[in-house]
């Protein structure tokens, strides 16, 4: 078995991957040719990166509005500190919740500390879905608000120094 990629080859591989995976039948072979390595070395390196959590999957970024997901709501809740982990984990697992984060309160201007993103095709459907979800988890009594987005000024295009390949989903 061949040794792994050199640090220079690994860096070159990452740079190539920033542009996306080549759209060919054997993408790892195509990448290997570009960095003067062989297919197995590239696959081995990428499996390592995947196991280390450097990337979650080889997947895609959707222009979700192009698919009709125009009802984008941010559900914010004021959860007692002692319950935040439990509630966050429960809501995070619930179907339809795409992202779930704890963020700081900024009193007195902002009291909410749990943020969930829900995307849907219709506003009424998203509202009903969230209401049902809160009832199911006995959370309807917690102070909460639903902030629908009505306009997008910049969906991506954020630049940050290390790499442009990830999408900073929600800070």
| CB neighbour class for 90 (10 Å; exposed up to 12, middle 13-18, buried from 19) | middle
Stretch of residues binding other proteins (CB under 8 A), selected from 1-9, 16-24, 124-132, 134-142: 16-24
Min dist CB 141 to other proteins, Å, is: 20
**Helix orientation angle between 27-34 and 39-52, rounded to the nearest 10 degrees:** 100
Task: Between 36 and 103, name the residue whose CB sits nearer to other proteins.
Answer: 103
Q: Is 78 in the site for other proteins (CB under 8 A)?
A: no
Q: Is 74 in the site for other proteins (CB under 8 A)?
A: yes
Q: Is 39 in the site for other proteins (CB under 8 A)?
A: yes
Of 98, 127, 142, 144, which lies in the binding site for other proteins, with binding defined by CB under 8 A? Answer: 98
> For the stretch 156-169, what's the b/e string if a residue is b when 16 or more beta carbons lie within 10 angstroms of its beta carbon?
eeeeeeeeeeeeee
Q: How many residues bind other proteins (CB under 8 A)?
A: 80
Task: Between 24 and 128, name the residue whose CB sits nearer to other proteins.
Answer: 24
Stretch of residues binding other proteins (CB under 8 A), selected from 3-11, 14-22, 124-132, 133-141: 14-22
> What are the CA-CA distances from residue 91 to residues 54, 74, 155 (Å)?
25, 13, 25
> Is residue 99 within 8 Å of residue 170, measured between CB atoms?
yes
């Amino acid at each position: 078995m061949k040794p792994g990629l050199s640090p220079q080859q690994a860096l070159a591989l990452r740079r190539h991957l920033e542009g996306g995976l080549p759209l060919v039948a054997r993408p790892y072979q195509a990448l290997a040719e570009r960095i003067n390595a062989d297919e197995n070395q590239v696959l081995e390196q990428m499996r390592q990166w995947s196991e280390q959590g450097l990337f979650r999957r080889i997947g895609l970024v959707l222009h979700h509005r192009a698919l009709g997901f125009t009802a984008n709501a941010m559900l914010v809740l004021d959860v007692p500190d002692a319950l935040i982990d439990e509630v966050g984990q429960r809501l995070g697992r619930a179907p339809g919740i795409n992202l779930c984060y704890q963020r700081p309160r900024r009193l007195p201007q902002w009291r909410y500390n749990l943020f969930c993103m829900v995307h849907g095709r219709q506003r009424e459907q998203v509202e009903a879905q969230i209401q049902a979800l809160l009832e199911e988890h006995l959370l309807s009594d917690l102070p909460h608000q639903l902030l629908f987005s009505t306009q997008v000024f910049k969906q991506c295009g954020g630049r940050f120094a290390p790499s442009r390949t990830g999408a900073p989903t929600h800070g």
